[in-house]
Structure 1
Amino acid sequence: MKKVTLLPYVDNDKCKACRTCEKVCPVLAIKVKNRQAVVDADRCRGCANCEQRCPFDAITMIKRDKPLEIGVDVNSVNYDDIIDLCVKAHLHPEQTLCYCVGVRAEEVAAAILKGAKTPEEVSLETGIRTGCTIECIQPILRLLDAAGCELNPVEGGWQWYGKTATAWDLPEEVKKKYSSRGFYFEEDREVLDKIIDGCKKGEDK
């Protein structure tokens, strides 16, 4: 479980309803209504993205009266299903995906198996992407894609980065072009596959 201790406070005299806060919130917790930014305290995960990106300094992070605990219990779903989803996404279940918050692949997989279908929903349930809010979007997309979820950014939602190419989906022409320059794509893939396949045999549990 993770504790959320901060909450945005909006100075209505400074807010210009520019909607920047809406665009950078990873969980859609802040919306402009009647030309004022309004915070949904139950959804907010305290990332401070809105405060840092507001061009008018209208938002300040303050302490919550009571910390909010979030997280998905990996034991609430069949762990074999978690393993299958992680392996399909070429991720080890115990692999840390979000170093800012400390979320592992197994927890993200559990959230998806319990019904999360978008990056916003995954972040809301697990807290992933509420630190730097940027780096861990890639493994989220990989797990959602592996689960068969359609990857379309919602209006006013997560910033669209697209999926980064991995060792498993590099085009042959790219591998051929750079293999003579000191890159070992196939060898890297074999090592990664061995590590990930190990979790199916229970070698790391």
Structure 2
Amino acid sequence: MKRVTIQAQVNPDICRGCKICEKVCPVYAIRVTDKKAQVTADECRGCANCADRCPFYAITMVKRDNPLVIQADVSRQDPEKIRALCEKAHFNPEQVLCYCVGVRAEEVAAAILAGARTPEAVSAVTGIRTGCTIECIQPLLRMLTAAGIELKPNPNGWQWYGETATAWTLPEDVKAKYNSRGFFFDEDRKLLDEIAKQKGDE
């Protein structure tokens, strides 16, 4: 759950419509219209990416009159479907995927099962990627891929990255090369799979 207490605010007298803010927003809550950036307040998740990246200092983060609470309702989805999706992505449902906000794999799974089909849609529902906006793109992409969703980078955004190699996708020649140097890829994979299958009462 994320309690959003701030939002982006644009000074139109300073904004030059460069669109950098639009490209770095993880939920596309800011758009440039008529060469001026405009924020959709109820979509802003308070990450401050736009304010941090604006080269003209036209954006500041201001306190919201009414904080937003962002959280996927896990109870509305079938728990077995949530578990199956998490395990397919090699995550335990209770595993934290976004440490800045505290979003768990089960919340991301619930958002996907409820219809979220892109990173920004999942971020808007759960708050994942609205803290540091960097680290949790990888587990998020893994979850979407496990759901059978074909990912295509948005041409208007900069925040989509390719997936990095995991214990399940390392080529055999790479494993063979480094196994003799103290790496234990197969053992790591086995342990991670066991963790993904653990249940809370075990």
Farther-moved stretch of structure 1 (176-185 vs 153-162): 153-162
Q: Distance in 2 between matches of 1:27 and 1:169?
A: 28
For residue 98 of structure 1, report the CA deviation from its aligned partner. 0.6
Give a deviation string over 1:78-124, Cα, whole Å, max 9, x none. Answer: 11100000000001110001111110000000000000000000000
The answer (yes or no) to whether the contact 1:120–1:158 under 8 Å persists in 2 is: no
Matched, 1:62 2:36: no
SS at structure 2 position matched to 1:69: strand
1:137 maps to which residue?
137
Q: Distance in 2 between matches of 1:158 and 1:43?
A: 18
Give a deviation string over 1:167-198, Cα, whole Å, max 9, x none. Answer: 01100000001101110001111111111123
2:53 maps to which residue?
53
Matched, 1:35 2:43: no
SS at structure 2 position matched to 1:181: coil
2:82 maps to which residue?
82
* Runs of 5+ unmatched residues, structure 1: none
For residue 51 of structure 1, report the CA deviation from its aligned partner. 0.3
2:197 maps to which residue?
197
Give a deviation string over 1:41-74, Cα, whole Å, max 9, x none. Answer: 1111000000000000000100011111111111
Q: Distance in 1 between matches of 2:158 and 2:71?
A: 20
SS at structure 2 position matched to 1:87: helix
Q: Distance in 2 between matches of 1:135 and 1:179?
A: 27
1:126 maps to which residue?
126
Q: Residue type of the partner of 1:147? A: A
The answer (yes or no) to whether the contact 1:26–1:158 under 8 Å persists in 2 is: no
Identity level (%):
65
2:93 maps to which residue?
93
* Runs of 5+ unmatched residues, structure 2: none
2:156 maps to which residue?
156
Q: Distance in 2 between matches of 1:137 and 1:147?
A: 15
For residue 203 of structure 1, report the CA deviation from its aligned partner. 4.6
RMSD between aligned residues: 1.1
Q: Distance in 1 between matches of 2:127 and 2:158?
A: 14
For residue 158 of structure 1, report the CA deviation from its aligned partner. 5.0
1:2 maps to which residue?
2
2:72 maps to which residue?
72
Q: Distance in 1 between matches of 2:54 and 2:30?
A: 12
TM-score normalized by the length of structure 2: 0.97
Aligned residues: 202
Q: Distance in 2 between matches of 1:158 and 1:97?
A: 21
The answer (yes or no) to whether the contact 2:154–2:160 under 8 Å persists in 1 is: no
Counting only pairs closer than 5 Å after superposition, residues 15-30 of structure 1 correspond to structure 2 as 15-30=15-30
SS at structure 1 position matched to 2:154: coil
Q: Distance in 1 between matches of 2:140 and 2:34?
A: 33
TM-score normalized by the length of structure 1: 0.96
1:181 maps to which residue?
181
Q: CA separation of 1:49/1:140 partners in 2, compared to 1, >3 Å: closer, same or farther?
A: same
Q: Residue type of the partner of 1:162? A: G
Q: CA separation of 1:158/1:146 partners in 2, compared to 1, >3 Å: closer, same or farther?
A: farther
